[in-house]
Amino acid sequence: MNSFETLTIDLRQMIFAIEAAVSQVGMNDTNHGKRVGYIASQLAHHLDWDEADIQFAFELGLLHDSGVSTEQMHSALVNHFDWRDAYIHCEIGYRLLKDFEPLARFAGPIRYHHTPWEKLRELDISQRDKQMANLIFLSDRIDVLAVSHYENDILLARQEVMQSILRYRGSYFDPELVAAFQLAEQSEAFWIALEDRHVTRYVWDMGQYGNREKLSIAQIKQLSLIMAYIVDQKSPFTARHSVRVAGLARYLADKHGLPGEQCDKIEIAGLLHDLGKLHMPDQILEKPGPLTPLERSIMNKHSFETFQILRHIQGLNEIADWAAFHHEELNGAGYPFHRRAQELSIEARIIAVADVFQALVQDRPYRAGMQMDEVLIILEEYSQSGKLDPEISALARQHAEACFRIALGQNRPEGGKSLRPA
């Protein structure tokens, strides 16, 4: 790539990546966003909306739970038809997207997608936002009511789902939208398509409606910050981890003499490196003691999950590798791919050192954050044993005080801007 001033990115692929990341929180059910997008698009079709609005409804369904990071929150949303704290994730999703211009149009409907129709219609927002928000609320609740029946008896349970929705017609849901659902649900195909193997194929097919945009480096960073914020909110013990790894990785890349555009890419990879942790159970991330072999095996999946989320985004291929390789080791003993030294680029090596440095500095449930001298001893041990790149580890030791401050979030990387979403 000759220039990193702009990247030609398929915006729909980025939306798919956000959905894939957020849906990981569902643990045993990672297709909720896809199903809501499918349901919303089908109801929009029965409402005779134009193709642009159908596509908008589909993408809105994919993005609607952008404010969900924890397993606990996801569980409450799917186990209660009207959870009193549902507004929290709506507000978080709204704040994350409202200032990111390529996705800002989704922010308003996301903010109100758990607001009952009888309250929503009185709000001073556009009619379109009201309709889109309520469409997602309806689609979301249809899926929550039906999810236990997919792959089993959904064609028998569909009337029970319909009757439950009808009880909330006019109060929670716009009667016009409910009427569209009544038309859509008459088709067996509507329900069968919600099964995992079919809905994933539907989303794949919808990827053909690409939206290629030239995003500036600032926009790519901002989107990466949004995704980093989502994963860092998974646990108080991971809060700000991705942002600080990104800042430290950029600092090390700059001190290593890499050009500015390469430093930008490393920073983005640092922001995205832990997306796969959204699929980790909360109790593992917050366990106040050593992990069992089974728990460790689950934890060791997260970097592969990161790779799976990012690898389909054309234009971010290198960044996907660097982000996913942050637990690889030069001696080949790392995970999940067991890459050896000759397969690990300088960018991946920098992110690995930054990740270890920041993780050691940060408080974790099983130990307090380490002091600088302790961190430097471990870096030296890891470099001598072939876990980390000796040259990058030596660079971190050479600039230890600056690295320590960045890892603690006490200052910004040189030449960098604040890494914090609006």
Which DSSP category does 212 fall into?
A: E
pTM over 0.85: yes
| Cα–Cα distance measured from residue 168 to residue 174, given in angstroms and rounded to the nearest whole number | 9
Q: Taking a C-beta distance cutoff of 8 angstroms, is the pair 171, 5 a contact? A: no
Cis peptide preceding 102, ω within 30 of 0: no
pLDDT at 212: 65
Q: Hey, is 10 helix, strand or coil?
A: strand
The yes or no reply on domain 218-408 and CATH 1.20.140.10 is no
Distance CA 297, CA 306 (A): 16
> What pLDDT does 233 receive?
84
CB 347 within 8 A of CB 314: no
Check the CA dihedral 330-335-336-338 and report its sign.
positive
Residues 4, 226, 18: CA angle, nearest 5 degrees: 90
Domain boundaries, the chain: 31-206, 218-408
* Nearest by Cα to 379 from 367, 359, 366, 394: 394
- Cβ neighbours, 10 Å, residue 236: 11
CA distances from 199 to 35, 150, 177, 189, 307 (A): 6, 11, 21, 11, 21
pLDDT < 70 positions in the chain: 1-7, 27, 210-212, 237, 411-422
**CB-based contact 53:28 (threshold 8 Å):** no
Out of 221, 265, 277, 387, the active site residue is 277
Residue 277 annotated in active site: yes
Fold adopted by 31-206: Hypothetical protein af1432 (1.10.3210)
Please give the single-letter amino acid code of residue 354: A
Domains 31-206 and 218-408 share a fold: yes
